[in-house]
Copies of this chain bind each other. A is one copy, B any other.
Amino acid sequence: MPTSEFTLIYRYFSALGRGDAVDLSVGDDCAILRLGEGERLATSVDTLVAGVHFLEDTFPEDIGFRAVSVAASDLAAMGAQPLWLTLAITLPEADERWLSRFTSGLDAALEAYKISLVGGDTTSGQLRVLSAQVQGSVPVGEALRRDGAQVGDLIYVSGTLGDSRAGLELLQNPQSHAQQADYLLQRFLRPSPRIDLGMALRGIATAAIDISDGLLADLGHLLRRSGVAGQIELESLPRSTALHSFCDAAQAMRWAATGGEDFELCFTCPESRKSDIEAISAQLGLRLSAIGRVSVGSELEVKSQGQSWLNPHSAGFEHFGAQQ
Pair B29/A43 contact, Cβ less than 8 Å: no
Assuming A30-B75, A30-B78, A52-B125, is B86 touching A119 (CB within 8 A)?
A: no
Q: Is A80 an interface residue (CB 8 A)?
A: yes
CB distance from A120 to the nearest CB of B (A): 6
Pair A24/B90 contact, Cβ less than 8 Å: no
Q: Is A189 an interface residue (CB 8 A)?
A: no
Interface of A is mostly: strand
Residues of A participating in the B interface, judged by any CB pair closer than 8 Å: 3, 23-24, 27-35, 37, 40-53, 74-75, 77-78, 80, 84, 86-90, 118-121, 123-127, 129, 131, 133, 135-136, 138, 143, 145-147, 208-210, 217, 225, 313
Pair B53/A123 contact, Cβ less than 8 Å: yes
Pair B28/A86 contact, Cβ less than 8 Å: no
27 intermolecular pairs with C-beta atoms under 8 Å apart: A23-B40, A28-B147, A29-B78, A29-B209, A29-B210, A30-B44, A31-B43, A32-B42, A33-B41, A34-B41, A43-B86, A43-B118, A45-B86, A45-B88, A45-B133, A46-B121, A48-B123, A49-B90, A49-B124, A50-B125, A52-B123, A88-B88, A88-B131, A121-B131, A127-B127, A127-B129, A133-B133
Pair B121/A45 contact, Cβ less than 8 Å: yes
For A46, what are the chain B residues with a Cβ–Cβ distance below 8 Å?
Answer: 88, 121
Give the number of times this chain occurs in the complex, counting copies: 2
Pair B47/A90 contact, Cβ less than 8 Å: yes
Q: What's the Cα separation between A121 and B131 when bound, in Å?
A: 9
Most buried by B among A47, A51, A143, A313: A47
- Given A41-B135, A86-B133, 20 additional A-B pairs, CB 8 A: A23-B40, A28-B145, A29-B209, A30-B42, A30-B43, A30-B75, A30-B136, A31-B43, A32-B42, A32-B138, A33-B41, A35-B41, A45-B133, A47-B88, A47-B89, A47-B123, A48-B123, A123-B129, A129-B129, A133-B133
